Amino acid sequence: MSDGNTILVTGAGGFIGGHLVRDLLKEGATVRAVDKKPADEWYQRFDDAENFELDMSLRENCYAATAGVGEVYNLAADMGGMGFIELNKALCMLSVLINTHLLEASRDNGVERFLFSSSACVYAAEKQTDAAVQPLVEEDAYPAEPEDGYGWEKLFSERMCRHFTEDFGLGTRVVRYHNVYGPEGTWDGGREKAPAAICRKVAQAKLSGEHEIEVWGDGEQTRSFTYITDCLQGTKALMASDHSAPVNLGSTELVTINQLIDIVEEIAGIEVSRNYDLSAPQGVRGRNSDNTQLRAALGWEPSVTLQEGMAQTYAWIYDQLSERVAA
Q: Residues 6 or more apart from 279 whose CB is under 8 A from it?
A: none
Give me the amino acid identity at 126. E
Cα–Cα distance, 101 to 294 (Å, whole number): 28
Residue 142 CA, distance from chain mean position: 22
Task: Pinpoint the alpha helices (H) of 58-211.
Answer: 59-66, 82-85, 89-93, 96-108, 150-168, 194-208
Query: In 3D, which of 190, 228, 252 has the Cα closest to residue 316?
Result: 228
Active site residue 150: yes
Cα–Cα distance, 264 to 295 (Å, whole number): 30
> Which secondary-structure segment (H or E) carries 259?
helix 257-268
Q: Which listed residue (73, 123, 150, 181) is catalytic? A: 150
Give me the amino acid identity at 139. E
Cα–Cα distance, 40 to 45 (Å, whole number): 8
Query: In 3D, which of 50, 7, 61, 52 has the Cα closest to residue 34?
Result: 52
Cα–Cα distance, 31 to 22 (Å, whole number): 9
Name the region of 11 (left: φ>0; alpha: ψ -120 to 50; beta: rest): left
For the annotated catalytic residues, the residue numbers are: 150
